[in-house]
Amino acid sequence: MILRANGIIKYFHEPISFQVLKNISFEVQRGEFLTLMGKSGCGKSTLLYILSTMDTDYEGQLEIAGEKLTGMTQNQLARFRNEHIGFVFQFHYLLPEFTVLQNVMIPALKLGKFSRKEIEEKAYEKLSMLGVQEQAYKQANKLSGGQQQRVAIARALINDPAVIMGDEPTGNLDSANTQKVFEIFRELTSVYKQTIIAVTHDDEFAKKSDRIVEMKDGEIIRQ
């Protein structure tokens, strides 16, 4: 078990108090590829932000990789996030003025566990794993959308995180690149035992994951 959410309750208070999440409890196993689904407004993105420790204003308990995260300070959470959680968003958020290699290195340089040379080697290894090593010294804005998303996945992997959190990771891609990203996620879970939790609207993408957690009106209705 890599992640446990227990009794997660969340309210929004603007413009009036409104309960977004109602007593959400579930576990995720190591190496599992899980998708969160549901109509817009069902609470899935809000839940992902809590699971990824970006939102700390909730009731309940959250545990990742054996550590209880509920109640940690913002600094403790920032360090935990950088070391244990990788992010892949709908938009890649690569820095256009940096090379591909430099973009992938950023989270590891921030963590400061390895020398710059070791980080560079590791970044190149992740790019090779994702088939974009030949783009390493290009500026990030010179790549196609599909290549940029693969670089974003390499960046998410650089610190060997416990979990990768994806927020609509294929939402900005055509069907061919969506399939490539799915294949990458599938290989990461089956070969490298990487855990992935992704919010998606794409039925086909979700159907091929290990487990779908379906939400409606702030509750899990099926998994």
Looking at the DSSP bridge assignments, the partners of residue 24 are 8
At 209 the pLDDT is 93
Cα-based angle 27, 67, 160 (whole degrees, multiple of 5): 85
User: For residue 19, is it within any domain?
Assistant: no
Q: What are phi and psi of 78, to 5 degrees?
A: -60, -40
CA torsion, ordered 212, 215, 221, 222, to nearest 10 deg: 0
Find the helix or strand (DSSP H, E) in which 86 lies. Answer: strand 85-89
The residue count for the chain: 223
At 138 the pLDDT is 94
User: For residue 159, is it within any domain?
Assistant: yes
Pairing of strands 59-64, 33-37: unpaired
- How high does pLDDT run on average in the chain? 92
At 12 the pLDDT is 92
Q: How far apart are CA 123 and CA 135, in angstroms?
A: 12
Percentage of the chain beyond pLDDT 70 is: 100
User: For residue 120, is it within any domain?
Assistant: yes
Name the domain count of the chain. Answer: 1
At 158 the pLDDT is 94
User: For residue 21, is it within any domain?
Assistant: no
pLDDT digits (tens, 9 = 90+) for 10-62: 999 888 899 999 999 999 999 999 999 999 889 999 999 999 999 999 999 99
User: For residue 16, is it within any domain?
Assistant: no
Angstrom distances, CA of residue 153 to CA of 74, 138, 185: 25, 17, 9
Res 89 pLDDT > 90: no
At 13 the pLDDT is 87
Domain that holds residue 167: 32-58+71-222
Res 91 pLDDT > 80: no
Q: What are phi and psi of 220, to 5 degrees?
A: -80, 120
User: For residue 23, is it within any domain?
Assistant: no
User: For residue 201, is it within any domain?
Assistant: yes
Query: What amino acid occupies position 48?
Result: L
Pairing of strands 3-12, 18-28: antiparallel
Across 178-182, average pLDDT: 86
Res 169 pLDDT > 90: no
Among candidates 89, 97, 164, which has minimal Cα distance to 126?
A: 164
Q: What CATH number is given to the structural domain containing 172?
A: 3.40.50.300
Percentage of the chain beyond pLDDT 90 is: 67
CB 37 within 8 A of CB 213: yes
User: For residue 115, is it within any domain?
Assistant: yes
